[in-house]
């Protein structure tokens, strides 16, 4: 039996691509202990579609919840508006911090040259904002953030990328898993892949989905709230209410059509507030 999620294929036929919004139930081999589901629910996360992965648990197919967050007791309620959001934890920059990024190239577990070009594009988008964070691609492992391939199973299922949130000691999340078949299977080019990479890098430095409170804004389908969870979903000052995904395609919207999403004005406001003279 093929593992393609049935809701993905009709969307693809319409030219839409789901970044992360799978709701399919996991198979018996992936059963999540009820205790964990209860814990995640109690912390305010939407437990639909939780998956066990190497790093911890994955929700909404792109957000990693590690043990640190599972053990966290901070539960917070936020009033949702369509604006930019951050987690409680952020990256401590000290006013000037270089974050190295590594992507392995070639071979069964590496990425094509298109991905390398896409990472350089994503990095240049951030660095063009003149933030206290400067991303720098490095050629060897041991970087602050390392890319690696999703499992072949996840790639076949249409998972595009996953990442987690900063640690409580102010470091970025260190691992971004990406599908390696975005070009070959979905026809994405440098800008489409760079957009997904910039999205996952956004999670690593503390950005939540712009539409976390109702993923249907970008994903379509029924109303779906991720929950603020123990990691928090704190509105970033200065981002206007009532953002419209039709005219304001934030790079942190939950779902993408695979197109190019450079930072919007509101995205730039959010990045500036977070990482220009603040943390
Ligand atoms: Zn995401």
Q: How far, in Å, CA of 186 to CA of 134, rounded? A: 30
Query: What is the secondary structure of 165-203 as a DSSP string?
Result: ---TTSPPP-EEEE-S-TTTTT---HHHHHHHHHHHHHH
Pairing of strands 51-53, 56-59: antiparallel
Q: How far, in Å, CA of 233 to CA of 245, rounded? A: 19
Report pLDDT digits (tens) over 258-270.
899 999 999 999 9
* pLDDT reported for residue 24: 36
Torsion angle (degrees, nearest 10) of CA 48, 213, 22, 18: 180
- Distance of CA 197 from the midpoint of ligand 1 (Å): 10
* pLDDT reported for residue 166: 93
Q: How far, in Å, CA of 263 to CA of 168, rounded? A: 27
Q: What is the CATH number of the domain that holds 105?
A: 3.40.390.10
- 10-residue mean pLDDT series, the chain (279 residues): 32 38 40 74 70 80 73 44 76 95 93 97 98 96 94 89 92 95 92 96 93 82 79 80 68 88 93 92
Residue 62 lies in a domain: yes
Residue 140 Rama label (left phi>0; alpha psi -120 to 50; beta): beta
Neighbouring C-beta atoms of residue 176, cutoff 10 Å: 26
* pLDDT reported for residue 42: 63
- Distance of CA 209 from the midpoint of ligand 1 (Å): 6
Which segments within the chain are labelled E, that is strand? 51-53, 56-59, 63-65, 85-86, 97-102, 133-138, 145-149, 161-162, 175-178, 234-235
Listed in sequence order, the residues at least 6 apart from 158 whose beta carbon sits closer than 8 Å to its beta carbon are 4, 5, 8, 18, 22, 179
* pLDDT reported for residue 162: 92
* DSSP conformation class of 44: T
Count the domains in the chain: 1
- Distance of CA 61 from the midpoint of ligand 1 (Å): 8
Determine phi and psi for 227, rounding to 5 degrees: 85, 145
- Distance of CA 134 from the midpoint of ligand 1 (Å): 21
Helix, strand, coil shares of the chain as percentages rounded to 5? 25, 15, 60
* pLDDT reported for residue 43: 62
- Distance of CA 263 from the midpoint of ligand 1 (Å): 15
- Judge contact between 21 and 217, C-beta under 8 A: no
Residue 1 lies in a domain: no
- Distance of CA 113 from the midpoint of ligand 1 (Å): 24
- Distance of CA 192 from the midpoint of ligand 1 (Å): 15
Q: How far, in Å, CA of 86 to CA of 251, rounded? A: 13
Report pLDDT digits (tens) over 116-171.
999 999 999 999 999 999 999 999 888 999 999 999 999 988 889 999 999 999 99
Burial of 216 (0-12, 13-18, 19+ CB in 10 A): middle
Neighbours of ion ligand 1 (CB under 5 A): 20, 62
- Distance of CA 144 from the midpoint of ligand 1 (Å): 19
Structural domain span for residue 232: 10-275
* pLDDT reported for residue 135: 98
- Judge contact between 200 and 179, C-beta under 8 A: no
Residue 270 lies in a domain: yes
* pLDDT reported for residue 84: 79
Residue 3 lies in a domain: no
- Distance of CA 95 from the midpoint of ligand 1 (Å): 26
- Distance of CA 108 from the midpoint of ligand 1 (Å): 25
Give the Å distances, CA to CA, from 169 to 92, 165, 166, 227.
8, 12, 8, 23
Give the Å distances, CA to CA, from 151 to 19, 43, 156, 189, 217.
16, 28, 9, 21, 28
């Amino acid at each position: 039996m093929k593992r393609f999620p049935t809701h993905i294929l009709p969307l693809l036929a319409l030219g839409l691509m789901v970044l992360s919004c799978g709701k399919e139930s996991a198979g018996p081999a992936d059963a999540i202990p009820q205790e964990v589901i209860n814990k995640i629910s109690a912390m305010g996360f939407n437990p639909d579609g939780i998956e066990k992965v190497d790093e911890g648990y994955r929700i909404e197919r792109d957000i990693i919840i590690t043990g640190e967050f599972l053990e966290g007791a901070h539960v917070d309620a936020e009033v949702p508006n369509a604006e930019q959001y951050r987690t409680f934890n952020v990256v401590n920059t000290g006013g000037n911090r270089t974050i190295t990024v590594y992507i392995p190239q070639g071979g069964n577990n590496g990425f094509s040259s298109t991905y390398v070009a896409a990472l350089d594009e994503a990095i240049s988008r951030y660095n063009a904002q003149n933030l206290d964070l400067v991303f720098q691609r490095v050629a060897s492992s041991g970087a602050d953030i390392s890319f690696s391939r999703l499992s072949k199973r996840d790639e076949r299922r249409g998972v595009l990328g996953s990442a987690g949130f900063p640690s409580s000691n102010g470091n970025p999340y260190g691992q971004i898993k990406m599908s390696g078949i975005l070009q070959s299977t979905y026809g994405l080019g440098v800008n489409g892949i760079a957009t997904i990479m910039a999205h996952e890098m956004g999670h690593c430095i503390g950005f939540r989905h712009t539409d976390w409170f109702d993923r249907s804004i970008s994903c379509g389908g029924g109303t779906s709230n991720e929950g603020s969870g123990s990691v928090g979903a704190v509105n970033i000052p200065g981002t206007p209410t009532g953002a419209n995904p039709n005219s304001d395609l934030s790079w942190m919207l939950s779902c993408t059509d695979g197109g190019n999403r450079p930072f919007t004005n509101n995205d730039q406001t959010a990045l500036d507030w977070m990482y220009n003279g603040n943390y």
